[in-house]
Amino acid sequence: MATKNTNSGKEKTLDFYNNAYYINRELSWLQFNARCLSEAKDKATPLFEKLKFLSITASNLDEFFMVRIASLKDMIHAGYKKPDIAGMTPKEQLDKVTEAVHEFVKEQYNTYNRLLLPALNENGVELVRDYKKLSEEEADYVDRYFDEFVYPVLTPMAVDSSRPFPLIRNKTLNIGALVKGKDTEDEMEFAMVQVPSVIPRIMEIPESSGVRKIILLEQIIERNIQKLFLNYDIVCCYPFRVGRNADLSIDEEEAEDLLKEIEKQLKRRQWGQAIRLEIEKGFDKRLLKILVDELRVEEKEIYTIDGPLDLTFLMKLYGIDGFDYLKEHGYNPPAGVVQLPPDRDIFECIREGDILMHHPYESFDPVVRFVETAASDPEVLAIKQTLYRVSGNSPIIAALAKAADNGKQVSVLVELKARFDEENNIVWARMLEKAGCHVIYGLKGLKTHSKITLVVRKEEDGIRRYVHLATGNYNDSTAKLYTDVGMFTCAEAYGEDATAVFNMLSGYSEPVAWNKLTIAPLWLKDRVLYLIHREAEHARNGEPARIVAKMNSICHKDVIAALYEASAAGVKIELIVRGICSLRAGIPGISENITVKSIVGNFLEHSRIFYFENGGSPEYYASSADWMPRNLERRVEIMFPVENPELRAKLWHILDTELKDNVKAHIMDANGEYQKVNRRGKDAINSQKIFGIEATELVKPKDITESRVFEPEYRDYHGL
Amino acid sequence: MATDVFAAVDLGSYELDMKIFEMSQKKGVKELDHVRHRIDLGTETYATGRIPAARMDELIKILLEYSRIMESYDVSRYQAYGTSALRETRDIDNVLELLRQRTGLEIDIISNSEQRFLDYKAVALNNEGFSEFLEKPTAIVDIGGGSIQISLFDHDTLVTTQQLRLGVLRLYSTLQQIQTGYRKYPLLVQELVDSQLSVFAKMHLKDRKVQNVILLDDYVSPVMQKIKLGMEKKGYAKASEFIGYINRMSNESIPDISRKLGLAQDNILLTYVSGLLVCNICEILKAETIWAPGGCLCDGIAYEYAEKKKYLRSEHDFEKDIVACAQNISRRYMGSKQRSETLQTIALNIFDSMKKVHGLGKRERLLLEIATILHDCGKYISMVNLGDCSYNIIMSTEIIGLSHLERTIVANVVKFNHDNFEYYSDGTYRFRGIDKESYFTISKLTAILRLANGLDRTHRQKFKNVKIQVKDKELEISVDTMADVSLERGLFEGRAQFFEQVYGLRPIIRQKRL
């Protein structure tokens, strides 16, 4: 049970809870986004990958607004004054964060204008800056495109006394205009049109001058806006974009039917309070005043943008043909898993011993195959799985439905509260139910974030349970981009625990005891604190003590305080934290034994792996949970030990290689700022590249005589 | 397939418990799954004798889920037992029928003594240390929600078993009515339980010292699995240290205890009350060692099944416990041991000689044996109303391992041994709750017991060595004795008539003089 103060040591003269030792999580997150941006600026990053990174920082920021800034605003409105981990009130946080975001946006567009546009030009790509300055031929093409494809889907809206101000949807791009009635002396009116999301944001104008010209959709509309308001004169027109409060908060006690409630919330999300207004540089003052009055945004919530709004279009630009040579090819595609060859029975392979997979270097296919095989295997009695975020058209969902069809008992916990995926989740949750699966729509008051699959099979010598435990979602698309680890086992202890997990998720009482797994929110926090305290104890007794922990974020104050205490006791602590880190490294007497490293690379670091030296008999764990309050206290999470020596060696190799990474790694300095690792003449170590090469090597046929097939190599493999 | 997947369901007063087991001769009994669902059937049922409709819906919902879980293991057999809450439901037959219709599950009701017997069986079969532990004087203390059962063992045999209405939930709700801080609980619990425990001690313990306590319960056992109290092995504790530990509990806050023990906060107070109850019992028994082997009714159900299917074999003879229990009752009411033994020898001899005729099995043989042991217990109260008094004594004394129905059979057989037989169609109250089949068992066993009794009319054991054979339409009883059997022969007629009525065989006595 969670109690407030777990800090119970007696030699406390140091206050490990001092606010000064902590970093605000929003500011820390912005630092993470800055690290992503730094990839876009990195000379070593191929040009089109730079576009991708910049696009990612933009979509990250959108979500940050919708959720984090929105919740800060909610707190301020509710009069909530409780300070955060670093002792800042919501008001203070919002001020600091807003300031930092303005800085960050400036940096984004600096990168775009000074770095990316010139580089694109050098490579023969030109983004049209001024839609008025097109050649006759080009203009003709663009306008025809407008008439044929764009015009039919536009809904122009004018505002006057009889027509109220229209709803401006969250995250949509719009064009606002001042119009004046023809032949009248009336005042100027506001008019607007939404840039349709059903038409591609970018359009390539047929090449005429040896340069590939790209024009943005809003520019095409602006060029032709007169056609939308025939009875008016257009005084001026500019694009703008609104960000709204979108954080879902569902009162489950009141929500009789969770599905309906979520659908309702999704609609409401479009109308949340406006918290950001982006306008193009040079935006008309009169037009702005109308928007500010209607949307009730404050001065500091207005972002004046020097360039196109909403940089996520760069992801589309990344996709245009012909620039393969400006993309990254140094990373190998997922390799097969040696222990799980496609031509062998997957259950038989698992019976031979536990298997640990490192995605995306090793393919996610075996996980899909695991569920698919189970669905049609006559020996399989039941399949149970938790699903958090799955891909559209997921083969896993299809397999589960098929399993139910084949008469297996299929139980699926579908987490409807997975942010921004609700719409998606509802659709296929209903589909599974129709197929005859037993679907649980999450747990009251808790998000189910654990990733676990259980297959019960009736074999010759009795019932055997196969378990898959993982750090990442059952999503075959993201499994190609996120780094995660997953383990297959049929050891009885894991099977019993997995059964107990699903019993708890079905509303039954907790088991008498757990064999291997530790479950949040009931036990995990205490377990993590215990493991850290134990390490401190070992250090005090002069025994080997070391912690290496890799995760996405760390901002739980009790856990960080425990790490400070362990550091002060002499435990060497190496953290590999991709995202938010509220811990400050290198504070004398507090955290001088702690280092924080962050890897932002080609793949999104997503696995959570923990190593505890434990006085010479080390323990390894993997988990679905970060060390954040929400993971440890408000979610169902699983931490599982890895005990097989070979599997441990593999986990250690992951941690060790990432600790040595000097290409994609940043290190936190004493000021809490992140700096790229100084290589000092050492060989470049790019951990993600190395893992890919190693995985490919493993599945290569040993000798040419074995396969008797020659494998041609292509230019792409060499990045030429 | 050589493995059997078995589900055991316990419909308790406060919880629906189900365990799935895998059994085979090679591997024995292995637990696969354990699901527990809280449902309060007790509170309302105890008060009104009915299960409210909403509870019924809840029950059906959970049972349907359980049935789905059974399917997911491809369960081949299951056994579902309802305990006290269902037992005390007045309209239980309709309730069971409704549950059967809605869920497809057949549920049986078991009596307290059967339930305790299963609990006890689970411990005996699941633990190697059992016989060793039982070498010293031992008490099995089985703590339920409504009542507790204390069974005393001496040299591996059961001495006595008594039910006391001191269940932990009953105590807890009394304590809650008093509305006092839990620091006062030690004193209150002592006052609440002392009167009953001291009566128990006076009647059954006398000066005996019970060194070992085997504890079966839901709340203290998990604690004992987690902490060490003066003993090396898990689940064992020195009684003195246990008492000290429970006393120290009142100084800690509930969240602290909960966190330290890793138990749900809701259960901490119940654990505390159970702990205090155990302390009081240990003190009165003067126990030195406590052993909490864990396990629940579902284990008992499974082990019973496994034993029947011969997946398991126990060194401990459970029938001996039932017999020992009957013998102790007989001793308490000053029955004659010698006379019982003679009667038993003759009766069982008759029973065994006519297996083909009566078609009864091992279990009925045991009932006959118990009936012979208890045949004269009513004498203690009245020599004249022997039949009725014996009947009443048996009906109000628990015989561990026998179901209520079986006990009713024994009581009736003993009664009709002395009194006129009553017929099923007479509709007498004695046959309430007895089906036709059991009625036939009563009449068949009564006929045998009467015959045996008739052969030992003088209580001089003249007919100890008899040979019994079925020949045509006669049951030939050959006796080698020099003694005068004219009295037996003379009075034989009346008894033989009933026997002939039941079996269609005429018993005749042949005396071979040596």
**Which residues in chain A touch residue B293, judged by CB atoms under 8 angstroms apart?**
none
A578 within 8 A of A658, measured Cβ to Cβ: no
The highest-confidence range among A101-115, B29-43, B356-370, B414-428, by mean pLDDT, is: A101-115
- Residue A449 a catalytic site member: yes
- Beta-carbon separation of B259 and A438 below 8 A: no
* Same domain flag for A488 and A476: yes
Tens of pLDDT along A184-211? Answer: 777 788 899 999 988 999 999 887 778 8
Which one of A122-131, A538-547, B107-116 scores highest in mean pLDDT?
Answer: A538-547
- Long-range Cβ contact pairs of A160-168 (< 8 A, separation 24 or more): A160/A189, A165/A190, A165/A294, A166/A192, A167/A270, A167/A271, A168/A192, A168/A194, A168/A242, A168/A274, A168/A295
Instruction: Kindly determine whether residue A456 and residue B259, on different chains, have CB atoms separated by under 8 Å.
Output: no
- Chain B environment of A511 (Cβ under 8 Å): 34
Asked if the structure places residue A322 within a domain, the reply is: no
B433 touches chain A (CB under 8 A): no
In this structure, are A500 and A524 located in the same domain? no
Distances in Å between the alpha carbon of B400 and those of A83, B120, B316, B329?
64, 10, 15, 11
User: Phi and psi dihedrals of A191, rounded to 5?
Assistant: -140, 155
Can you read off the two tokens belonging to residue B311?
A: 């997946």
- C-alpha distances out from residue B164 to B146, B167, B243, B279, B296, Å: 9, 8, 21, 16, 19
CATH number of the domain at A472, please: 3.30.870.10
Q: How does residue A713 score in pLDDT terms, banded at 50, 70 and 90? A: low
Question: Catalytic residue among A329, A358, A359, A449, which?
Answer: A449
Report the CATH number at residue A58: 1.20.58.310
Residue contact A499–B33, C-beta within 8 A: yes
Instruction: Look at residue A136 and tell me if it is in a domain.
Output: yes
Rounded mean pLDDT of chain A?
Answer: 87
Query: A456 pLDDT band (50/70/90 cuts)?
Result: very high
* pLDDT for residue A585: 94
Give the residue-averaged pLDDT of B353-359: 85
Does residue A173 contact residue A216 with C-beta atoms inside 8 Å? no
Prediction ipTM score: 0.76
CATH of the domain at A140: 3.30.1840.10
Query: How big, in percent rounded to 5, are the helix, strand and coil portions of chain B?
Result: 55, 20, 30
Do residues A350 and A491 both lie within one domain? yes
Q: Are residues A72 and A6 in the same domain?
A: yes
- pLDDT one-digit tens code per residue, A325-384: 888 888 888 999 999 998 899 999 999 999 999 999 999 999 999 999 999 999 999 999
Selected for mutation to probe chain B from A439, A512, A517 (highest B CB count within 10 Å) is A512
Of A159-168, A480-489, B223-232, B362-371, the poorest mean pLDDT is in: A159-168
Instruction: State the average pLDDT over residues A415-431.
Output: 71
Residue B180 corresponds to which tokens in the numbers above? 């006092």
Same domain, A543 and A676: yes
Closest C-alpha to B224, from B211, B239, B209: B239
Spatial distance between the Cα atoms of B38 and B145, rounded to a whole number of angstroms: 13
DSSP labels, B177-190: HHT--GGGHHHHHH
Burial class (CB in 10 A: 0-12, 13-18, 19+), B238: middle
Q: Which chain A positions have a beta carbon within 8 Å of B36's beta carbon?
A: 508-509
Question: Tokens at residue B511, please?
Answer: 């005396």
Chain A residue numbers with beta carbons less than 8 Å from the beta carbon of B262 are 523
SS3 (DSSP) at A640: strand
Once rounded to an integer, what is the mean pLDDT over residues B122-143?
81
Residue B30: list chain A partners with CB under 8 A: 462
pLDDT at res. A1: 37
Q: Is the predicted pLDDT of residue A256 greater than 50, yes or no? A: no
Task: Tell which residue, B392, B450, B445, has the closest CA to residue B419.
Answer: B450
Q: Average pLDDT over chain B, rounded to whole?
A: 85
Domain end among A123, A147, A165: A123
**Stretch among A77-91, A118-132, A270-284, A410-424 having the lowest mean pLDDT:** A410-424
Q: Which chain A residue lies closest to B39 (C-alpha atoms)?
A: A508
Residue A320: inside a domain, yes or no?
Answer: no
Residues A536, A428, single domain; the answer is no
Output the pLDDT for position A714. Answer: 66
Q: Are residues A6 and A106 in the same domain?
A: yes
pLDDT in tens, B250-260: 888 888 888 77
Give the pair of three-digit tokens for residue A61. 């920021």
pLDDT of the residue at A418: 58
B25–chain A Cβ distance below 8 A for any pair: no
Percent above pLDDT 90 for chain B: 20
Q: Which residues contact A541 (CB under 8 A, 6 or more apart)?
A: A615
Residue B208 CA to its chain's centroid (Å): 23
Residues of A in contact with B259 (CB under 8 A): 1, 3, 526
Residues of A whose CB is below 8 A from B255: 1, 3
Segment A153-180 mean pLDDT: 85
Query: Total structural domains in chain A?
Result: 4
Instruction: Confirm or reject contact between B61 and chain A (CB < 8 A).
Output: no
Q: How far apart are CA B164 and CA B143, in angstroms?
A: 10
CA distance A609 to A548: 8
Q: Give 3-state DSSP helix, strand, coil % of chain A, rounded to 5.
A: 40, 20, 40
Most confident option among A245-254, A443-452, A558-567, B307-316: A558-567
B interface test, pick of A459, A492, A508 with most B CB neighbours within 10 Å: A508
Q: What is the pLDDT of residues A610-624, one digit of tens each?
A: 999 999 999 999 999
> In whole angstroms, what is the distance from residue B314 CA to residue B324 CA?
18
Do residues A423 and A560 both lie within one domain?
A: no
Distance CA A41, CA A39 (A): 5
Last residue of one domain, picked from the residues A236, A267, A297: A297
Does the residue A307 lie in any domain? no
Size of interface A-B (CB pairs under 8 A): 62
A295-304, A636-645, B152-161, B403-412: range with highest mean pLDDT = A636-645
Instruction: Tell me which residue range forms the domain holding A458.
Output: 346-510
- CB of B253 within 8 Å of a chain A CB? The answer is no
CA A649/CA A669 separation, integer angstroms: 30
Q: Give per-residue pLDDT as tens, B149-195.
A: 998 887 777 778 888 888 888 888 888 888 777 788 888 899 889 88
Q: State how beta strands A635-642 and A619-623 pair.
A: antiparallel
Q: Which residue of A has its CA nearest to B257?
A: A1
Angle at A575 between CA A570 and CA A580, to 5 degrees: 130
Paired strand residues for B237: B229, B290
Q: How many CA atoms lie within 13 A of B39 on its CB side?
A: 26
B1/A409 Cβ within 8 A: no
Whether A3 and B256 lie within 8 Å, measured CB to CB: yes
Indicate if the pLDDT at residue A487 is higher than 90: yes
| CB A641 within 8 Å of CB A620 | yes
User: Which has more pLDDT, B505 or A246?
Assistant: B505
What predicted TM-score, i.e. pTM, was given to this entire model? Answer: 0.83
Whether B73 and chain A come into contact, CB under 8 Å, resolves to yes
- Give the closest of B30, B34, B69 to A511, CB-based: B34
Q: Please state the rounded mean pLDDT for residues A34-47.
A: 92
- Of A485, A510, A535, the one marking the end of a domain is A510
Residue A325 lies in a domain: no
Q: Coil, helix or strand for B508?
A: strand
Q: In sequence order, which residues have a C-beta less than 8 Å from that of residue B185 and are 6 or more positions away?
A: B175, B250, B272, B273, B276
Whole-angstrom CA distances from A177 to A239, A316, A431, B509 are: 9, 27, 45, 123
Q: Given this model, what pLDDT does residue A6 score?
A: 41
pLDDT for the residue B57: 93
Asked whether residue A713 is assigned to any structural domain, the reply reads yes
Do residue A62 and residue A207 come from a single domain?
no
Kindly tell me if the per-residue pLDDT of A718 is higher than 70: no
Q: Which residue has the higher pLDDT, A13 or A20?
A: A20
Residue A182 has a pLDDT of: 77
Contact call for B5 and A409, based on CB within 8 A: no
**Smallest Cβ distance to A526: which of B34, B259, B294?**
B259
- pLDDT-based confidence at A253, cuts 50/70/90? very low
Name which of B6, B17, B34 to mutate to probe chain A: the one with the most chain A Cβ atoms within 10 A of its Cβ: B34
Where does the pLDDT of residue A9 fall: very low under 50, low under 70, confident under 90, or very high at 90 and above? very low
- With CB atoms and an 8 Å threshold, state whether B34 touches A381: no
Percent of chain A topping pLDDT 90: 60
**Residue A175, CA distances (Å) to A148, A250, A288, A304 in order:** 20, 33, 12, 15
Higher pLDDT, A503 or B267: A503
Rounded to whole angstroms, the Cα distance separating B478 from B499 reads: 17
Contact status of B76 with chain A (Cβ, < 8 Å): no
Task: Give the confidence band of B29 by pLDDT, cuts at 50, 70, 90.
Answer: confident
Q: Cβ of B37 and A438 within 8 Å?
A: no
Give the pLDDT of residue A343: 86
**Nearest-by-CA chain A residue for B263:** A1
> Count of residues for chain A?
720
pLDDT for the residue numbered A394: 85
Q: CB contact, 8 Å: B257 with chain A?
A: no
The verdict on residue A306 lying in a domain is no
- C-alpha distance from A468 to closest chain B C-alpha (Å): 18
Q: Same domain for A116 and A154?
A: no
Asked whether the beta carbons of A56 and A36 are under 8 A apart, the reply is yes
Q: Residue B14: which of B119, B71, B85 has the closest Cα? A: B85
Chain B residues near residue A380 by CB distance under 8 angstroms: none
* Residue with more model confidence, B157 or A56: A56
Please check whether residues A466 and A530 belong to one and the same domain: no
The answer to whether A84 and A25 have CB atoms below 8 angstroms apart is: yes
C-alpha distances in Å from residue B467, one per residue of A616, B360, B510, B512: 78, 20, 10, 11
Nearest CA distance, A531 vs chain B (angstrom): 15
Q: Determine whether the interchain pair B255/A382 forms a contact, defined as Cβ–Cβ distance below 8 Å.
A: no
Q: Enumerate chain A positions whose Cβ falls within 8 A of a Cβ in B.
A: 1, 3, 381-382, 409, 438, 456, 458, 460-463, 499-500, 503, 506-513, 523, 526
Q: Domains in chain B, please, with CATH? A: 3-110 (3.30.420.40), 128-292 (3.30.420.150), 318-512 (1.10.3210.10)
Q: Which strands, in side-by-side order, build the sheet including A232-244?
A: A157-159, A189-194, A173-181, A232-244, A274-280, A302-305
Q: What b-and-e string marks burial along A186-204, b requiring 16 or more CB atoms within 10 Å of the CB?
A: eebbbbbbbbbeebebbbe
Q: Are B52 and B44 in contact (CB under 8 A)?
A: yes
Do A565 and A467 have their domain in common? Answer: no
Here the tokens at position B80 are 């579902």
Q: Is A584 inside any structural domain?
A: yes
pLDDT tens track for A573-587 = 999 999 999 999 999
